[in-house]
Amino acid sequence: MPTYLIAPDSFKGSISAIQFCEIAQQVIIEKQPGAKVLCRPLSDGGEGFVDAFVYAGLAEEHKIWCSNPLGRKTKAKFAWMSDSKTAIIEMAQASGLPLLRPDDRNPLQTHTTGTGQLIQAALDLGAQKVVLGLGGSATNDGGVGALKALGIPFITATDKAVGLGGQALTQIKTIGEVPAHLLEIEWVLACDVNNPLLGENGATHIFGPQKGVTKQTLPILEKGLENFALVIQQTTGKDISHMEGAGAAGGMAAGFMGLLNAKTEPGFDVLNRQLKLNELFEQHPIDYLITGEGKTDEQTAFGKLPVRIASLAKQYQCKTIGLCGHLATDTETMSEFDALFSIINKPMDEYQAIGQTPMLLRQSLTSILGIIGH
């Protein structure tokens, strides 16, 4: 009987990577009772990043109460690897879009304070390395909320503490001394975004609309990030405005790169190094990889998680199957996949599709395994 590796990203807003794995495992065991199933829920740094480490048994989960993007209380978790004193933080846990109703999304006001509180909880445990997963943010504050929570002072022209939210960045006149212990931490930013901080391809223009940015608020937020970059350059000598990846998570990458010397790394590479996926393929004769994400299009080809794991599987002559909600490409364009399927089986709007994702995934997998089994 065949061996399957289930290694998806989440379908953002509908099912987690862990739920995908559970559904796929159930269907495979029902259809092929003798089959072997290995599950590795994955994440590129956004939703499910902490779960991927905990599920694989690499880290223990810690939960705290912290601030959501609008300052309300929310419970969030991080992963702690005690042996290496490494914390895995997923900024979407405390500062992510799913924490807000659509009509609450306003990057003038949303902030990353809660992510800073998560990081502080990890530092209190003795963290010497912090891997910060960036993705799914509801914010456009350059990470200032998080950096303030960690004790970095941001001061206005009238010597007052700068407020919270994207609109407050225009008020930054100076940045106080960075606490020495923060500069001793190894900071790694796990993200798959190469966008710069500013300009037409920057944080506000590209990612702002999904966070509630309007034509009226866009210039204010862009001006705020411009000022933030200028003050960082005056303070540290670093020009973060056009650094690759600085625009990730509403410019949070820029703040951490500029003030804490953080380095960026693709989320898949961070996970792969810990999960040792190469060894998994070497130790098991895996016949089929089943992976997936919410939307598969030409952007997937530029190193997004499903294509990275599919490319790895190909090195081991493993057949690769990709599943998604919205399919806007094919196997000719993405030769890493042997087959690509949308789980949508009839006309429906996005709201219906999100609500029916578990059922649609189960139906699609049942059909696919019916083909594989003959």
Q: For residue range 103-149, list pLDDT tens digits in order.
A: 999 999 999 999 999 999 999 999 999 999 999 999 999 999 999 99
Q: Mean pLDDT, to the nearest integer, of 71-87?
A: 98
Three-class secondary structure of residue 295 per DSSP: strand
Residue 194, SS3? coil
Q: Are residues 255 and 167 in the same domain?
A: yes
- Sort strands 186-190 and 73-81 into parallel, antiparallel or unpaired: unpaired
The tokens for 239 are 């020009």
Is residue 33 situated within a structural domain?
yes
CA distance 122 to 58: 16
Tokens of 37: 């199933």
Q: Would you say 129 and 89 are in contact if contact means Cβ atoms under 8 Å apart? A: no
Token readout for 246 is: 């600085």
Q: In this structure, are 215 and 76 located in the same domain?
A: yes
Cα–Cα distance measured from residue 199 to residue 207, given in angstroms and rounded to the nearest whole number = 12
What's the Rg (C-alpha) of the chain?
21
Residues near 273 by beta carbon (within 8 Å), at least 6 away in sequence: none
Mean pLDDT for the chain overall: 94
pLDDT, position 127: 98
Could you list the residue range(s) of the whole structural domain that residue 189 is in? Answer: 49-265
Per-residue pLDDT at 302: 74
The pLDDT of residue 331: 84
* Arithmetic mean of pLDDT, 34-43: 96
Output the CA angle 229-235-240, nearest 5 degrees.
30
For residues 317 and 247, state if they share a domain.
Answer: no
In a domain, 271, yes or no: no
Tally of domains within the chain: 2
**Angstrom distances, CA of residue 143 to CA of 88, 127, 175, 351:** 17, 20, 13, 31
Q: Is the pLDDT of residue 336 over 60?
A: yes
- Specify whether 131 is located in the same domain as 208: yes
User: Is residue 162 pLDDT above 70, yes or no?
Assistant: yes
Residue spans of alpha helices (H) in the chain:
17-31, 49-55, 91-95, 113-124, 144-149, 218-236, 248-260, 267-275, 277-283, 305-315, 350-355, 357-372
Q: Name the token pair of 215.
A: 């034509």
CATH of the domain at 348: 3.40.50.10350
Q: Same domain, yes or no, for 151 and 25?
A: no
Average pLDDT rounded to a whole number, residues 19-45? 96
Residues 122 and 22 placed together within one structural domain of the fold: no
Same domain, yes or no: 88 and 148: yes
- Using the structure block, give the residue that is written with the tokens 């919410």: 294
CATH number for 231: 3.90.1510.10
Instruction: Please report whether residue 8 resides in a domain.
Output: yes
CA dist 342 and 322 (Å) reads 9
pLDDT > 90 fraction of the chain, expressed in percent and rounded: 86
Tokens of 33: 């009772």
Strands 129-133 and 174-175: unpaired
Domain end position, chosen among 265, 289, 319: 265
What pLDDT, in 10s, does the model give residues 193-246?
A: 899 999 999 999 999 999 999 999 999 999 999 999 999 999 999 999 989 999
Could you report the per-residue pLDDT of 303-315, keeping only the tens digit for each?
789 999 999 999 9
* pLDDT at residue 373 in the model: 63
Residue 155 within any structural domain of the chain:
yes
The per-residue b/e assignment along 103-123, b for 16 or more CB within 10 angstroms, e otherwise, is eebbbbbbbbbbbbbbbbbbb
245-256: average pLDDT? 97
Q: Is the pLDDT of residue 374 over 60?
A: no
CA distance 61 to 289: 27
Judge if 60 and 199 occupy the same domain.
yes
What does the pLDDT read at residue 330?
A: 82
Final residue in a domain of this structure, among 232, 265, 298? 265
